A and B are shown apart, each in its own frame.
Chain A
Amino acid sequence: MIRFDNVGLRYGSGPEILRDVTFHVHPGSFHFLTGPSGAGKTSLLRLLFMSLKATRGLIFVFGENIADLPASGRAALRRRIGIVFQDFRLLDHLTTWENVALPLRVMGKRESDYADDVTDLLNWVGLGDRIHAYPEILSGGEKQRAAIARAVIARPELLLADEPTGNVDPAIGNRLLRLFVELNRLGTSVIIATHDYALMDQLDAPRLMLYEGQLKVTP
């Protein structure tokens, strides 16, 4: 599903943020991506999401070498990936419901076909009473849950999450982890970037350890 071969990344003429990163993500797998702050977790996620170009090496996403893909091809691949950002990236002028429905709207689906699914998911993540609220009045945890709901609403084949439980209390964090596990059981591959060891200890999943730009896979 995902293959990195000797991937390197540097910003401008600065030092390499990622060096010789090589790993595979198989369909239906669950990985934690961890490492200290500044180790390059977010950069690696951005490479996975094709919002950055590798300085060297090869990246295959769903079997496609992304270096050869035109913009339209990358957009088509992104529709198969859900992503949760550390800073949520919700659109302030859209309601919570509209933010969550955005991927389906982009896919050209009819509102009548997905309205119930969006409402059900918002109820499931505990935002049933915040459907018409705008992001600016949501708490950090609520924004996080709305961002997660947006990432999973289109049932992506791959889910990338950057510190998804960083702004929520442990109870909600556990609930979100259960959502990720449930999605994984339904066939979605999941990569969660986190340095929350308590969260990682709850699940027996391989860890992609980033340290000073180099990656080690455990176990």
Chain B
Amino acid sequence: MTLITDIRDYPWSSLLAGILPARLTALLPRRFQTAGSQIVPPGSIAGHALTVVIAIMTFLACLTAGGVYMVNQSAQAWVDDIASEITIELDPLNTADIEKKMTLVSLFLAKQKGITKVRPLTAEDSVKLLEPWLGQNASLSALPIPRLIAVEIDRSNPPDIDLIKRSLTENFEGVTLDDHRRWQAEIRTITRSTALGGITVLGLVAAATIAVIISATRSAMASNREIIEVLHFVGANERFIGGEFERHFLGLGVRAGLMGAFAAALAFLLLPLAMHLLGGGAVTEAETRRLLGSGELDIGGYLLCVLVVVVVAGLCMITSRLCVIRVLRSYA
């Protein structure tokens, strides 16, 4: 009931006035302006330095959350991609006619249940796959490069991979099947590690934000000690006094949070361009794209940034309220 009463009684109409700078508040329609002056003057709460610090914290949190989201999306797409394919590798050594063997293996695979497409890669295709690492080199074609057959499987009716593997071993010499399970496991490990690292960074950012707000609240209370005493004398309780400070910090949190999130959104928008400009060679760019995908954040990622703003504003509000109540109790 208390929570419902709190929500009902909250001065929502004045929230906008708390978020906007004072000179813009005067331009708002009357219903969005606070009734009378604010009991705790906004100028006595915190200067621009605190807004900048919270904005930077939000920026870092948005970059971390967005980065982890991007890696997760990219990894998921990669896992989906490689999970629907298997690769057959043919050893070119000790094989008189590799092209004939390619055809035989392809025909064999096409007959198996659960296989939707068989795509033998030409020798040129295999060379191209090595180009990012070995460069364009005419002598590559002289090397015994393994030949590959890409096989797409029907994920709704998957084939018996172990049976196919056994059949290939029994019928063809020097033919191996890679179902990418090892890659999938490694991608999942990397994704989990990235997420864990991201959560740790977010935790540190939250802890730093809380510490900064506690310090700012204590300092604001010290500089407004006289006002707090007068509020006590006229019968204000902890909730009322806490609310007066909390509103200022909520406004500050939303304002600074939006600034930080906007800067992060801008960074994400410019990331593909930055990747292109600073991508280094073809290999680095290819690796970065594998890790981060195209480098573009989708709508889900931007919503995550909005969530970060909400969390930062909530942290500012709750921390300041709890800190005010704690300090008030120490006065008593």
Contacts and interface: CB of A to CB of B under 8 A. Distances in A.
Whether both chains belong to one complex is answered with: yes
Mostly helix, strand, loop or mixed at chain B's interface? helix
Interface residues on A, range: 20 to 34
Given A71-B332, A93-B41, A111-B35, A103 B227 contact: no
Contact of A106 (B35, B238, B240): B240
Contacts of A79: 234-235
A54 to B, nearest CB: 14
B39 A72 contact: no
Contacts of B231: 102, 106
A14 interface: no
A107 B36 CA distance: 15
B190 to A, nearest CB: 53
Interface residues on B, range: 20 to 34
B31 interface: no
Interface string B208-235: 0000000000000000001101111111
Contact of A98 (B36, B227, B332): B36
Interface string A65-87: 00000011011101111010100
A185 interface: no
A138 interface: no
Contact of B234 (A76, A78, A93, A108): A78
Contacts of A167: none
B227 A91 contact: yes
Contact of B39 (A90, A95, A102, A108): A102
B187 to A, nearest CB: 56
B329 A49 contact: no
A150 interface: yes
B9 interface: yes
Given A89-B230, A94-B37, 16 more contacts: A49-B233, A51-B232, A74-B332, A75-B235, A76-B235, A79-B234, A80-B235, A83-B233, A91-B226, A91-B230, A102-B230, A102-B234, A106-B240, A107-B235, A111-B35, A154-B235
Interface of B: 9, 35-37, 39, 41, 226-227, 229-238, 240, 328-329, 332
Q: Top 3 closest A-B pairs, CB basis?
A: A79-B235, A75-B237, A78-B235
